[in-house]
Chain A
Amino acid sequence: MSRLLDIQSLSIGFSAYGQYRQVLHNVDLHVSEGERVSLIGQSGSGKTVTMRTIIGTLPMPPGKVEQGSILYDGRSLLDLNVQERNRLKGTGISIILQDPMLSFNPVLTIQRQMDDIIRYADIRLERRRTKGERHAHMIETLRKVQLRDGERVLESYPIMLSGGMRQRVLIGMALLNQPSLLIADEPGTALDVTTQDEILRLLNTLVDDEGLSLLLITHNLGVVRQMADRVYVMERGHIVETGTRETIFEAPQHAYTRKLMAAVPPLYGDKVQTVVHHGADPMIDVRAATKDFQTRGGLLNRATASFRAVNDVSLTVNQGDIFGIAGESGSGKTTLAKMIMGLTTLSHGDITISGRNVAGFAGSQEFRKLVQIVYQNPGSSLNPRRTVADQLAVPLKFTGSDSTAIKTRISELLDLVDLPQNYASMYPHELSGGQKQRVAIARALSVNPKILVLDEPTSALDVLVQSTVIDLLHRLRREFDLTYIFISHDLSLMRNFCNRVAIMLRGEVVETGPVAEIFDAPNHPYTRALLSAIPVISPEEDALKPKITQEERASVLATSTLLEDE
């Protein structure tokens, strides 16, 4: 097979703030015709720089190619002039970006945006097509990405489509001008796991049917296992290991690859750790909790419609539990957590914590010393303009500690989350993602709460960092006898972290129980659909996943295709 894309000892550096730093070191990578190749690595490893160099969108300066070449179909991309390069856009190399919402212009219809792509490619290639021909081509392309009701999609604005449909349209746009190489940057990672699964299947089908070559850039090893024939592992701008999918997954050689593999929480198999805890004392009692949100509008700001975010949820969390609330976006899991925190009032039902109703209890100093929260994104939950010490001091100050006590406590807290003392005077932007999340955990712990609500505390972090934060949470729980409520969409992680889980779908809890039971013998079809969609990293795990029929799937999932038959 001939090499369609061939990157030879590519080195790239950046100059910023008067300093020069090399970000890619002698990168060798090739994609043969019809091959699916994957480039994996953590954030900051140089994946995106590599991609942007290939498609020619790396700003130079500050970027600079030190050495090396990129051959596409035998032609050196770095030596082509602008017109020649542009001619390859969409027709030779095409790209699917990560976020299906951000990749669209929100004020233009899909039709207009797709038409532009065809028209400009036609102009570059000096082709002429009538409006009707272009329209027919769009419909045909949408059909390829399994959107049959093409007319309706074309008339829509991006906001009117679901996430999965947007991703499909985006893939369709990349295919409009029959490229031979498709570069996918984290496809589907912004989507729910069930939708992501559909998208990955679609990509696989397209690569086969259209004879495309695929370069997949991702950090998700499970996705790589489903999608790639060959894998490159990148660490700090170096390709540290390369090989076929089988060798990489079954016999990884490089220490970094092994570390990455080991950090992925297993879903099934021997490596799964089951947390067992039999707490007897109920700590949190949720009784028939319901939340309606009103949409307001019109001249007098009257309620025009209402939306039930949480519907009749009842559950009990015992002292010492790590209680997982799992669900996809929009399932109401965060609303439920906010109700437990007393941040959102209930429309119906009751929540009691330690025997006291949250409705009157929340807002009191006592409540704050009992329940605290760790947010998903430490970049947003920490104030960018205040030092670590300032932020850790806030809960202490408002529960009546004096300044010497605050100082001692801050120093204790930093020790507790394994951060050096001198971090107290730093600002959040001087810390890495994992370190920021440690500060957020320290802040939540500062007043010695009994319950921590963890709202996806690791989903903004890389997998290696995630495992260190999870270890920290385990240790803190043992040390301080904490009860956790862990909200997440990552079921693999929950399998190993929680002792009990509740699965939520459209505001309702469909299934709840000890982790081992839920994962090994899921009752509800939705739980099965979720579990079977998770990309895992070994065939053993795949074999142990629950099976689900097409009918069951369709009964619980709104599919993003508009096919009447499949």
Chain B
Amino acid sequence: MSVIDDHETPDHGMTARQMAFFRFRRNPLAVIGALIVLSVVIMAVFAPWIAPSPESAGSFVNFRNRHAPPSWDNLMGTDNVGRDVFSRVIYGYRVSLGLVVGVLGVAVPFGVILGLVAGYFGGWTETIVMRFTDIMLALPPLAMALAITAVLSPNLVNAMIAITLLWWTWHTRLIYRIVKGQMNEDYVEAARVAGASHMHILFRELLPNCISAVAVKVSLDAGFVILFGASLSFLGLGIQPPTPDLGTMVATGSEYLPEMWWQAIMPGLAILYAILGFNLLGDGLRDMLDVEL
């Protein structure tokens, strides 16, 4: 049997995955981002084993050691009731990542499906979905979230609901635009000629072509969700004490500025660290997967 033919076959002796990984590895910032994210995830998952003082996560008090500056015993100092700030930051990551998973776990599939449907079916479906998306995007997000949590009573679940309600729109828009572009490709028509169902075309043909963009968007989003949650908590409308939340910690800590700076600055830096990690990772993934957002 003859194996054909021309010499235009891309041949680097690597699979696509290896080539993508090569691009990723060559980007030091992306690798740093990945390591930061990994460290945050490890801290969140193994918090009870990593935190030097796990009891600090709750309503533990130790007034004898309150307002202690950073030292070897308390790496980030202690807060106004003597809890170890470092331990609370580690538990704070747990809450933040829980928020990220909860919000994106719902908002992303919802937004992606709406975007797929709007882009694929077009016509009235498209008009209704996309105009509704536009309306949602027109609402100022923080004000909306404040309104929702204020009505529903502020706690972690309601903060999650509020952020989710606002977050899906970005994914709808992103996917809608990609699908619109993909609809011009012949493979969609080819699938139709082959008799494929709408479900097949949406989820087997179009969705795989959107996945890399979603992956990049999700990793960039993660940082923003953390920030958004922290902002809500800072304003007192998110997660309530004694649950250790980075935003709440900044809010309480800021009362003791500037003398006892560590109580606000350390959790602030922790937020910065996580967001930086997710953003660097997202940028790296974008280069690696070669998608435009």
B-contacting residues of A (Cβ < 8 Å)? 16-19, 42-45, 236, 341, 343, 365, 368, 372-373, 375-377, 380-386, 390-391, 394-395, 397-399, 415, 418-420, 427, 429-435, 438, 440, 443, 447, 461-462, 464-465, 468
Q: Chain A: which residue is nearest B22 at the CB level?
A: A17
- Asked if B14 lies at the interface with its beta carbon under 8 angstroms from chain A, I say yes
A-contacting residues of B (Cβ < 8 Å)? 1-10, 12-16, 19, 22, 185-187, 189-197, 200, 204-205, 208-209, 211
Is the Cβ of B209 less than 8 Å from the Cβ of A343?
Answer: no
Is the Cβ of B193 less than 8 Å from the Cβ of A434?
Answer: no
Closest 3 CB pairs of A and B: A385-B208, A398-B195, A395-B194
With A398-B196, A432-B7, A461-B6 given, can you name 7 additional A-B contacts, CB distance below 8 Å? A17-B22, A368-B195, A376-B186, A394-B191, A398-B197, A462-B6, A464-B6
Known: A438-B4, A462-B6. Contact between A384 and B209, CB under 8 A? yes
- What's the least CB distance linking B186 to chain A, in Å? 4
- What's the least CB distance linking A471 to chain B, in Å? 10
Known: A343-B193, A380-B186, A420-B1. Contact between A427 and B16, CB under 8 A? yes
In angstroms, Cα B194 to Cα A525, docked, is 40
Known: A17-B14, A383-B187. Contact between A44 and B4, CB under 8 A? no
CB contacts (< 8 Å) of B15 on chain A: these are 430
CB contacts (< 8 Å) of B197 on chain A: these are 398
CB contacts (< 8 Å) of B16 on chain A: these are 427, 429-430
Q: Can you pick out 9 interface pairs between chain A and chain B where the beta carbons lie within 8 Å of each other?
A: A343-B189, A365-B195, A373-B190, A376-B186, A383-B187, A385-B211, A391-B187, A415-B1, A432-B8
CB contacts (< 8 Å) of A398 on chain B: these are 194-197, 200
In angstroms, Cα B204 to Cα A341, docked, is 23
Contact of A430 among B10, B193, B195 (CB under 8 A): B10
Known: A16-B12, A398-B194. Contact between A375 and B7, CB under 8 A? no
In angstroms, Cα B7 to Cα A112, docked, is 41
In angstroms, Cα B194 to Cα A443, docked, is 9
CB contacts (< 8 Å) of B196 on chain A: these are 394, 397-398
Is the Cβ of B208 less than 8 Å from the Cβ of A383?
Answer: yes
- What's the least CB distance linking B292 to chain A, in Å? 16
CB contacts (< 8 Å) of B9 on chain A: these are 430-432, 435
Is the Cβ of A368 less than 8 Å from the Cβ of B193?
Answer: yes
In angstroms, Cα B8 to Cα A21, docked, is 14
Is the Cβ of B187 less than 8 Å from the Cβ of A381?
Answer: yes
CB contacts (< 8 Å) of B190 on chain A: these are 373, 375, 381-382, 440, 443
Is the Cβ of B7 less than 8 Å from the Cβ of A236?
Answer: yes
In angstroms, Cα B145 to Cα A405, docked, is 54
Known: A17-B14, A44-B7, A468-B5. Contact between A368 and B209, CB under 8 A? no
CB contacts (< 8 Å) of B185 on chain A: these are 380-381
- What's the least CB distance linking B49 to chain A, in Å? 39
Contact of A383 among B1, B14, B205 (CB under 8 A): B205
Q: Which of A44, A373, A384, A394 has the most CB of B within 10 A?
A: A394
Q: Which of A341, A385, A447, A465 has the most CB of B within 10 A?
A: A385
CB contacts (< 8 Å) of A438 on chain B: these are 4
Q: Chain A: which residue is nearest B3 at the CB level?
A: A420
Is the Cβ of B3 less than 8 Å from the Cβ of A433?
Answer: no
CB contacts (< 8 Å) of A420 on chain B: these are 1, 3
Is the Cβ of B194 less than 8 Å from the Cβ of A385?
Answer: no
- What's the least CB distance linking B17 to chain A, in Å? 10
Is the Cβ of B12 less than 8 Å from the Cβ of A435?
Answer: no
Known: A19-B13, A384-B209, A429-B16. Contact between A418 and B2, CB under 8 A? yes
Is the Cβ of B193 less than 8 Å from the Cβ of A43?
Answer: no
Is the Cβ of B4 less than 8 Å from the Cβ of A465?
Answer: yes
CB contacts (< 8 Å) of A42 on chain B: these are 6-8
- What's the least CB distance linking B128 to chain A, in Å? 15
Contact of A433 among B8, B14, B204 (CB under 8 A): B8
- What's the least CB distance linking A52 to chain B, in Å? 17
Known: A418-B1, A418-B4, A429-B10. Contact between A383 and B194, CB under 8 A? no
Is the Cβ of A383 less than 8 Å from the Cβ of B5?
Answer: no
Known: A18-B22, A384-B209, A385-B208. Contact between A375 and B186, CB under 8 A? yes
Is the Cβ of B200 less than 8 Å from the Cβ of A468?
Answer: no
CB contacts (< 8 Å) of A397 on chain B: these are 196, 200
CB contacts (< 8 Å) of A372 on chain B: these are 193-194
CB contacts (< 8 Å) of B187 on chain A: these are 380-383, 391
Q: Chain B: which residue is nearest A363 at the CB level?
A: B195
Is the Cβ of B6 less than 8 Å from the Cβ of A465?
Answer: yes
Contact of B12 among A19, A365, A440 (CB under 8 A): A19
CB contacts (< 8 Å) of A430 on chain B: these are 9-10, 15-16
In angstroms, Cα B209 to Cα A44, docked, is 27
Is the Cβ of B5 less than 8 Å from the Cβ of A435?
Answer: yes
- What's the least CB distance linking B18 to chain A, in Å? 8
Q: Chain A: which residue is nearest B192 at the CB level?
A: A343
Known: A373-B190, A375-B186. Contact between A395 and B5, CB under 8 A? no
In angstroms, Cα B116 to Cα A71, docked, is 56
Is the Cβ of A341 less than 8 Å from the Cβ of B193?
Answer: yes
CB contacts (< 8 Å) of B205 on chain A: these are 383, 386
Q: Chain B: which residue is nearest A369 at the CB level?
A: B195
CB contacts (< 8 Å) of B13 on chain A: these are 19
In angstroms, Cα B187 to Cα A440, docked, is 10
In angstroms, Cα B1 to Cα A435, docked, is 14
CB contacts (< 8 Å) of B2 on chain A: these are 418
CB contacts (< 8 Å) of B193 on chain A: these are 341, 343, 368, 372-373
Q: Chain A: which residue is nearest B210 at the CB level?
A: A385
In angstroms, Cα B8 to Cα A465, docked, is 11
Is the Cβ of B19 less than 8 Å from the Cβ of A44?
Answer: no
Q: Chain A: which residue is nearest B182 at the CB level?
A: A383
In angstroms, Cα B22 to Cα A19, docked, is 11
Known: A381-B190, A386-B208, A429-B16. Contact between A394 and B200, CB under 8 A? yes
- What's the least CB distance linking A149 to chain B, in Å? 35
CB contacts (< 8 Å) of B208 on chain A: these are 383, 385-386
CB contacts (< 8 Å) of A468 on chain B: these are 4-5
CB contacts (< 8 Å) of B6 on chain A: these are 42-44, 432-434, 461-462, 464-465
In angstroms, Cα B200 to Cα A418, docked, is 28
CB contacts (< 8 Å) of B200 on chain A: these are 394, 397-398
CB contacts (< 8 Å) of A429 on chain B: these are 10, 16
Known: A368-B193, A399-B195, A430-B9. Contact between A435 and B4, CB under 8 A? yes
Is the Cβ of B186 less than 8 Å from the Cβ of A381?
Answer: yes
CB contacts (< 8 Å) of A434 on chain B: these are 4-6
Is the Cβ of A394 less than 8 Å from the Cβ of B186?
Answer: no
Q: Chain A: which residue is nearest B19 at the CB level?
A: A17
Q: Which of B8, B190, B192, B209 has the most CB of A within 10 A?
A: B190
In angstroms, Cα B197 to Cα A384, docked, is 19
In angstroms, Cα B196 to Cα A394, docked, is 7
- What's the least CB distance linking B192 to chain A, in Å? 8
CB contacts (< 8 Å) of A385 on chain B: these are 208-209, 211
CB contacts (< 8 Å) of A45 on chain B: these are 7
CB contacts (< 8 Å) of B19 on chain A: these are 17
- What's the least CB distance linking B130 to chain A, in Å? 15
- What's the least CB distance linking B198 to chain A, in Å? 12
- What's the least CB distance linking B291 to chain A, in Å? 12
CB contacts (< 8 Å) of A415 on chain B: these are 1
Q: Chain A: which residue is nearest B193 at the CB level?
A: A373
Q: Chain A: which residue is nearest B18 at the CB level?
A: A17
Q: Which of B22, B193, B208, B209 has the most CB of A within 10 A?
A: B193
In angstroms, Cα B208 to Cα A377, docked, is 20
